[in-house]
Amino acid sequence: MQASGTFTVTAFQPSTIESDTTIATALPTGIAIMQKQYTGGVTGRSSTVFVSAFDQDRGFGSYVALESFEGSLNGVAGTFNYIHSAATRGSDRYQEHFTVVPESGTAGLHGITGVGRIAVGADGGHEIVFEYDIPAEKSR
């Protein structure tokens, strides 16, 4: 099955990484908690732990994110986790990874498995697509 929608970031709370073993690299590292709102075939909200090594001035870097989603895919409601990561040189996305966390689904999304992708449009809008499966006996 496939579900797609758009999302907006409704909150972005940067934090610092405090450690006595901090290692300086060519890209500064950071962590943030994000909130997102989804519409379309993917409807709901998520809370995201977002970790990055990113140069704001040049737009270069990579991120890794873990999202906890609550809502519905094509009208089937529940919750689940998914992880995604990508790299960018400012105008592109590459080395992308996106997967649903096994055994994380609840309610109608219990047993969900799958992959996905995020695309950033020319206008800066974000589209999300899930390619997923929910075992018939678990989707009731």
Domains along the chain? 2-16+27-138 (2.40.350.10)
pLDDT in tens, 97-135: 999 999 999 999 999 999 999 998 888 889 999 999 999
Residues with Cβ within 8 Å of residue 1, at least 6 apart in sequence: 73, 74, 131, 132, 133, 134
20 has a pLDDT exceeding 80: no
Q: What is the pLDDT of residue 19?
A: 65
